[in-house]
């Protein structure tokens, strides 16, 4: 049984996940300097699937996933195939830190989807305030960071679409794949996406890649995809599915800090002003921190083998 509080091991796993899913935006930004968005997605997903395959086979997780293959492919399209290529394309234009912050709006869209699905509890005053704050923060960051540039606004729109897709995917898992082991779903989905993008990757990345791009893509594949999912499963087993995703609120902090320190991305006034507004809004929209209430699950979460939502996988 998961602990009712964060253990030392839980805090260690929490910190690892905050980093592993906070640094993909840095690696993506470096990778797209040499590789096309399709190539980044093909290598990232295909490579991670190969790394996870032995674990999935050992647990017998693939057979249940194969029996539900249409829904696994739907999950793969919404959680990986669309978002991963949109992120890679957007980061050819906008900074990695801004990308990480905009992806953090997933709880806002998850709350909107919950309302559309008939969950009136999502309209509680505190959560409504969170929605207003969160989208106001996005407007501050977006309009202030773009300076009216159409390409920047389009790229930010792509990232916000990613957040919408990330918010939709858990509902597929919760309703159609809840009895399938998460590792089987993830491995099969990653493999399908990798195979699907492989032909496009071969046609769109003909030039010799720079060493930095190769290293970044390798780290994105191994650390931010394959290892991250394994650590995430361990975190869920340690602290439970309600507390496990709390690290997602640290991801934008890591993304913005790394972008500024390593890539010298500017910390614009709009980013500095909108950043805390977005984070606080997302936290309130998601229902706040579930401290002391392990039965609460305002947003569907990835668990093994319960309903899943791999967050900022990104």
- State how far the Cα of 132 lies from the Cα of 240, in Å rounded to an integer: 29
Torsion of CA 208, 209, 214, 217, to 10 degrees: -120
Contact (CB, 8 A) for 133 and 281 = yes
Q: Which residue has the higher pLDDT, 292 or 168?
A: 168
Specify the pLDDT at position 243.
64
Domain ranges of the chain: 8-285
Specify the pLDDT at position 219.
96
Q: Which residue has the higher pLDDT, 121 or 163?
A: 163
> Up-side HSE of residue 84: CA atoms within 13 Å toward CB?
32
**Other CB atoms within 10 A of residue 217 CB:** 23
SS3 content of the chain, % helix, strand, coil (to 5): 75, 0, 25
Contact (CB, 8 A) for 129 and 135 = no
Please write the tens of the pLDDT for every residue from 44-86: 999 999 999 999 999 999 999 999 999 999 999 999 999 999 9
Q: Which residue has the higher pLDDT, 75 or 306?
A: 75
pLDDT > 90: percent of the chain: 39
Give the single-character DSSP code of 121: G
- State how far the Cα of 285 lies from the Cα of 248, in Å rounded to an integer: 14
Contact (CB, 8 A) for 314 and 248 = no
Q: Which has the closest alpha carbon to 80: 242, 195, 2, 180?
A: 195
Taking phi first (over 0 means left), then psi (-120 to 50 degrees means alpha), and beta for anything else, what does residue 63 get? alpha
Please write the tens of the pLDDT for every residue from 232-288: 878 877 876 556 666 777 888 888 889 989 988 888 888 888 889 888 888 887 676
- State how far the Cα of 258 lies from the Cα of 2, in Å rounded to an integer: 32
Mean pLDDT of the chain: 83
Contact (CB, 8 A) for 309 and 246 = no
Element (H, E) at 311: none
Distance of alpha carbon 274 from the chain centroid: 20
Please write the tens of the pLDDT for every residue from 90-117: 999 988 988 988 888 888 888 888 888 8
Element (H, E) at 260: helix 251-262
- State how far the Cα of 265 lies from the Cα of 259, in Å rounded to an integer: 5
- State how far the Cα of 100 lies from the Cα of 22, in Å rounded to an integer: 7
Residue 178 to residues 24, 77, 114, 302, Cα–Cα distance (Å):
27, 18, 18, 10
Contact (CB, 8 A) for 113 and 133 = no
């Amino acid at each position: 049984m998961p602990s009712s509080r964060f253990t030392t091991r839980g805090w260690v796993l929490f910190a690892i996940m905050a980093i592993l899913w906070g640094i993909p935006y840095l690696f993506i930004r470096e990778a797209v300097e040499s590789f096309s968005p399709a190539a980044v997605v093909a290598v990232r997903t295909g490579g991670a699937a190969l790394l996870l395959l032995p674990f999935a086979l050992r647990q017998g997780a693939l057979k249940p996933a194969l029996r539900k293959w249409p829904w696994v492919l739907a999950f793969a399209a919404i959680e990986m195939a669309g978002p991963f290529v949109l992120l890679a394309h957007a980061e050819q234009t906008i900074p990695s830190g801004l990308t990480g912050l905009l992806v953090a709006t997933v709880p806002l869209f998850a709350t909107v989807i919950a309302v559309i699905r008939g969950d009136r509890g999502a309209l509680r005053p505190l959560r409504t305030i969170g929605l207003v704050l969160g989208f106001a923060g996005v407007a501050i960051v977006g309009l202030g960071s773009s300076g009216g540039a159409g390409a920047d606004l389009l790229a930010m729109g792509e990232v916000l679409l990613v957040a919408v897709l990330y918010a939709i995917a858990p509902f597929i898992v919760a309703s159609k794949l809840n009895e399938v082991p998460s590792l089987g779903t993830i491995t099969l989905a990653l493999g399908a996406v990798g195979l699907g993008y492989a032909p496009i990757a071969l046609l769109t990345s003909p030039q010799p890649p720079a060493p930095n791009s190769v290293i970044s893509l390798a780290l994105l594949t191994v650390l931010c995809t394959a290892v991250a999912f394994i650590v995430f499963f361990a975190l869920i087993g340690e602290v439970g599915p309600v507390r496990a995703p709390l690290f997602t609120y640290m991801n934008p902090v890591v993304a913005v800090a790394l972008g500024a320190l390593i890539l010298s991305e500017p910390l614009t006034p709009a980013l500095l002003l909108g950043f805390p507004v977005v984070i606080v809004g997302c936290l309130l929209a998601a229902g706040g921190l579930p401290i002391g209430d392990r039965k609460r699950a305002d947003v569907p979460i990835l668990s093994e083998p319960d309903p899943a939502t791999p967050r900022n996988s990104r």
